[in-house]
Amino acid sequence: MIGALLRSLTAPPEHEVCANLRLLEMFGADRGGCDDSLEFWIRSESEDYTATLLANAGVEAQEEFIVMAPGAASGGRNMWPVERFAAVALSIYQRKNIRTVLVGSPGERALANDIEAQAGAAVVNMCGHTSLLALAAILARAVLLVGNDSGAGHIAAALGKPTVTISSFPIDGDPGHPNSVLRFRPYGRGALVIQPRWPAAETCVNGCSMKEAHCILDVSIERVVTLIHRALDKP
């Protein structure tokens, strides 16, 4: 047992879900052939409440929409610029006629308001008006989530929804880093991550070292839009 535990501590980094499952196996848990995908359960009352919220916001019952989460609790370097989010929402609306529902905490309303001011009819601003369970119910109705590296992406992945996460962590960054995409990306088959192609400075070799948006600025609007269209066009 101790030998197995020591080997796990020196093994190459892997996603935290896999690492935790491996630890349980060391203590005798039998995974068998079980599915390791995450799950998130939504109560019917949350679905009903969310349906009313969406209807009051002008979203029709059968309307397809994307959810956009422009905030991030960690802020700063993990925040893609709001003008780029607005450009993405406009592009999807113009090419697919699909609107974007903005979500986030009350403290992120200013971000959503800026996107709404720039994207106009392409967005429905619900930022700050949903509980965590209502957010999950909205994500369950959405066709896709796009956002920064935040909790919304993990909920969407647990619901089995396609996700496009914009990360500040460079592709060649240290996989053992606390912001490593390998270890902490949303865990799901449709969970896609866009990363900076390279560090923006020598100090960011292992992971972005700046407080404000820095390495993440290498992620272009075109790359995000292309990945969203690719995910939407999958059968």
Q: Is 94 left (phi over 0), alpha (psi -120 to 50) or beta?
A: alpha
Residue 78's pLDDT is 86
**Is the per-residue pLDDT at 63 higher than 90?**
yes
Alpha carbon 196 to chain centroid distance?
A: 16
pLDDT digits (tens, 9 = 90+) for 147-196: 998 889 889 998 989 999 998 888 877 777 777 776 777 777 778 889 88
Measured distance CA(1)–CA(23) in Å, rounded? 10
Residue 5's pLDDT is 42
- Mind spelling out the 3-state secondary structure of 31-68? CCCCCCCCCCCCCHHHHHHHHHHHHHCCCCCCCCEEEE
Least reliable range by pLDDT among 50-59, 158-167, 196-205: 196-205
Report the predicted TM-score, pTM, of the whole model to 2 decimal places: 0.84
Q: Tell me the backbone φ, ψ of residue 222, rounded to 5 degrees.
A: -60, -40
E strands, the chain, where? 65-69, 99-102, 123-125, 144-148, 163-166, 191-194
For residues 73, 44, 162 and 22, what is the CA-based torsion angle, rounded to 10 degrees? 70
Mean residue pLDDT across the chain: 84
